[in-house]
Each structure stands twice: as C-alpha cells, then as structure tokens.
C-alpha cells in the first residue's frame, strides 16, 4: 500500500493573499513526482470564481502542474480519472457541511478515499482541513460554531481550525468534548497537522508562535496539550 499523507491547515497558506507560502511548499514536497500535478477543489466556497485565481497565482510559478475542479459548473465528465491522475489534491475553505453534501452527490467522497489510498497527497485549509476527520468544529450553520459528526472519516477523532484567530472556537470545542464529542486536534492559522497513514507525524508552522493542540477528555475534564511544531521559516 502507498504511503498516505494528509496535511490539515488551521488557516493561512495561499488563501490569504494568493502568494506562495512555506506551508504550500511543504505540501508539494510530499508529492511522489518532482513536478507534481496539483488540483484545487473550491467546493466549500460554492466554486468562487476568485478563489482559484489565488490558487493559480500562488502555484503557477512553482515547479508543478496546477488545475482546478468545479462541481457547481462541472465540465469534467470522469471525475475519478481526473482526480486519480493528480499527485496532490488541495481543498479550499468555506462551508464544510455544504461541501460534503456536494461531494457525496457527485461521488467525490469515495474518489478522494481511493486517491488517498493510492498515495495522492490530500491537503486543505479550514473546511479543507477538517473534512478528513470523523467530526469537526464548524461554522457551517452560523456563529457560534457547532459540532459536525459526518466528516469523511479518513482520520479518526475531530478537528478544529482557526484556533488562535476566532475566539469562540476554543470554548465551543472544549464544551463539545466535555459533552461527549470525540476529542482530536486544533490548529492555529499558519500551522499544519501532517498525518502519515492515519497517525500524526508532525506539526509544521510558518509563523512564529503558531502551533496545534491535542484536545481530549481525561478524568472528566478537557485537557489541551500544545504540540511543538517544526518551523518552516
């Protein structure tokens, strides 16, 4: 079986300014080919027309072959063939619940699992980070955030993005876990969780002071453990 990689970014990457970032370089470095084919899925943004522009602005200058896949205005007939020929699939932020529903209608959820098992690197920001888990903290249904329990389940447990930049994320996550929600990981903007074959291999960060955290229930209380990141700066 191929080595399976997932990189879940709490926020940041090219999404902020459409500029190359070290987190994006790290994601590309995991690809199996020297000039990897990387496909961007903007589904969570409702296939925003501007989001792919940022993606191409950031990745066109790199040694890679960028493409994007729209599902609201779908032009690709054979989604399975298209996605399985990629080396990296990069999922953007937005509404996680809506994205998962659209993926399931088009069969993309099953294709992504097959791609991951075949060694395609899966990565994403915010919605594109938490979708890989069994459960997640999401603002898909408005503010404050709430728990979502029907993620793709490639990774066990739960995830929470934007841990440093959105004040309501931490208390909501803790309250959910205390009430029986599966524990998991939270990530700051500018930090990424790198999983290899379902296990957390490391946390990487491109911003000083940004990291990730393990959040779980222990002895009837929620425990939050900071995870020291490897700096990409």
Q: Which of 5, 15, 45, 126 is catalytic?
A: 126
Contacts of residue 160, Cβ cutoff 8 Å, sequence gap at least 6: 130, 136, 137, 145, 169, 173, 184, 185, 186, 187, 215
Q: Which of 5, 45, 140, 162 is catalytic?
A: 162
- Going from the C-alpha of 32 to that of each of 61, 158, 209, the distances in angstroms are 19, 28, 31
Q: Is 194 a catalytic residue?
A: no
Q: Is 158 a catalytic residue?
A: no
Give the DSSP letter of residue 229.
P
Contacts of residue 90, Cβ cutoff 8 Å, sequence gap at least 6: 27, 38, 39, 40, 41, 55, 123, 124, 128
Active site residues: 126, 162
């Amino acid at each position: 079986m191929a080595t399976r990689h997932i990189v879940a970014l709490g926020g940041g990457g090219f999404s902020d300014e459409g500029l190359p970032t070290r987190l994006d370089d790290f994601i590309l470095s995991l690809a199996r080919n020297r000039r990897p084919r990387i496909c961007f899925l903007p589904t969570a943004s409702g296939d925003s027309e501007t989001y792919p522009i940022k993606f191409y602005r950031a990745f066109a200058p790199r040694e890679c072959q960028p493409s994007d896949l729209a599902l609201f205005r779908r032009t690709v007939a054979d989604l399975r063939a298209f996605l399985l020929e990629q080396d990296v699939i990069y999922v953007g932020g937005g509404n996680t619940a809506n994205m998962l529903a659209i993926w399931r209608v088009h069969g993309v959820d099953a294709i992504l699992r097959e791609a991951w098992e075949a060694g395609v690197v899966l990565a994403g920001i915010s919605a594109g980070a938490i979708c890989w888990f069994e459960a997640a903290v999401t603002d898909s249904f408005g503010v404050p955030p709430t728990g979502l329990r029907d993620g793709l389940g490639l990774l066990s447990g739960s995830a929470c993005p934007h841990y440093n930049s959105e004040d309501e994320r931490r208390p909501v996550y803790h309250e959910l876990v205390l009430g029986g929600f599966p524990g998991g990981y939270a990530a700051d903007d500018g930090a990424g969780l790198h999983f290899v074959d379902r296990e957390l291999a490391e946390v990487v960060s491109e911003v000083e002071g940004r990291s990730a955290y393990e959040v779980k229930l222990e002895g009837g209380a929620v425990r939050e453990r900071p995870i020291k990141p490897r700096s990409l700066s």
